[in-house]
Amino acid sequence: PAEDQARVAEIKQLLKVHNAVLVAHYYTDDAIQQLAEETGGCVADSLEMARFGARHDATTLVVAGVRFMGETAKILSPEKRVLMPTLEATCSLDIGCPEKAFSAFCDAHPERTVVVYANTSAAVKARADWVVTSSIAVEVIEYLQARGEKILWAPDKHLGSYIQKKTGADMLMWDGACIVHEEFKAKGIEDLKRLYPEAAVLVHPESPASVVSMADVAGSTSQLIKAAQSLPNDKLIVATDRGIFFKMQQAVPGKILFEAPTAGNGATCRSCAHCPWMAMNALDNLAGALRHGSGEIYIDESLRLRALKPLERMLSFNA
């Protein structure tokens, strides 16, 4: 629509005026991902978003995604201004792992190495020895296990179980989940596979074990896009946020992508393969953030320094 075009033109202008770059997650709206691409920003998973933002020489980072992604950007780049279209965009994993309760859990198990998923608050990261994203989690846990370390893992129990199965590590698990991935149903995927037996199944390991067990490839968003390219199948059933279809379809223009079935009809499904918090990012509030400098992320300096340590460990792990 003409209105969107005007917004896009305005945002492009504002990005230049403010020496800003747009960093967008795969799960945001197509229009935002496209804008990030067209303006020299990046569309990526949370690990690559963090790396890109830290390296870029812009003085303002506009992070389209959810709160922890903006916080991670600020922790890594305190000298940059970090803006988000909305500070209301959170994550069920972050909500489900409040700092106080988490600290008490850690205190009760002092012998364990604390590894937290990137989808957590700065305060939870500050309590951790390691931060990992799903694209690097298996490697880091393998490394720690080889050193004989016992793990305390938080917050995603499904991702944790997946890693535990893959590595055999001793992992004590926090009880958290992603409301989007938790809705995928093995039964629905079986039904689709019956219709399209030649289709390959791609699953993000934030999904329940029953769904992961049906996967031809399980992995992070960036790993799933690579798998879409390398697999010979020309039909793919994809169990992750449907926002990924923008980049995945670009990567495999000739292939047919199916959304993996969720709980069923919209009435019973809380999220239906699209994260409600990612969906809060829109052209309007993105333009607003740049126009007014709203949605800025601030992090207390002593907290930032504590959260930085485990993040840097991750970033230098296989860099």
> Minimal distance in Å, beta carbon 241 to ligand SF4?
5
119 binds ligand CIZ (CB under 6 A): yes
Judged by phi (left if over 0) then psi (alpha if -120 to 50, else beta), residue 264 lies in left
DSSP 3-state helix, strand, coil percentages of the chain (rounded to 5)? Answer: 45, 15, 35
132 binds ligand SF4 (CB under 6 A): no
66 binds ligand SF4 (CB under 6 A): yes
Query: Which residues 6+ apart lie within 8 Å of 100 measured at CB?
Result: none
> Minimal distance in Å, beta carbon 247 to ligand CIZ?
12
134 binds ligand CIZ (CB under 6 A): yes
Residue number with CB closer to ligand SF4 (48 or 241): 241
121 contact, one of ligand SF4, ligand CIZ, none, CB 5-8 Å limit per kind: none
Residue number with CB closer to ligand CIZ (45 or 259): 45
- How many residues bind ligand SF4, per CB under 6 A? 14
DSSP string, 99-142: HHHHHHHHHT-TTSEEEEESSS-HHHHHT-SEEE-TTTHHHHHH
Residue 159 · residue 137 · CB < 8 Å:
yes
> Minimal distance in Å, beta carbon 158 to ligand CIZ?
11
Whole-angstrom CA distances from 90 to 67, 179, 189, 248, 275 are: 5, 12, 28, 24, 10
DSSP string, 264-316: SSTTT-SSTTS-TTGGG--HHHHHHHHHHT-SB----HHHHHHHHHHHHHHHH
* CB-CB neighbours of 105 under 10 Å: 17
Q: Of all residues in this chain, which one has the CB nearest to ligand CIZ in the complex? A: 45
By CB under 6 A, the residues from 95 to 114 that bind ligand SF4 are none
Binding string, residues 169-198; x marks residues near ligand CIZ by CB under 6 A: ---------x--------------------
Residue number with CB closer to ligand SF4 (14 or 314): 314
Measured CA to CA, the distance from residue 165 to residue 266 in angstroms comes to 32
206 binds ligand CIZ (CB under 6 A): yes
48 binds ligand SF4 (CB under 6 A): no
Residue pointed to by tokens 């993000």:
204
- How many residues bind ligand CIZ, per CB under 6 A? 10
> Minimal distance in Å, beta carbon 175 to ligand CIZ?
17
Query: Which residues 6+ apart lie within 8 Å of 194 measured at CB?
Result: none
By CB under 6 A, the residues from 35 to 54 that bind ligand CIZ are 45-46
174 binds ligand SF4 (CB under 6 A): no
Q: Name the residue among 205, 311, 183, 198 with its Cα closest to residue 259.
A: 183
Binding site for ligand SF4 (CB under 6 A): 27, 66, 91-93, 119, 178-180, 206, 241, 275, 277-278
Binding site for ligand CIZ (CB under 6 A): 45-46, 118-119, 133-134, 178, 206, 220-221
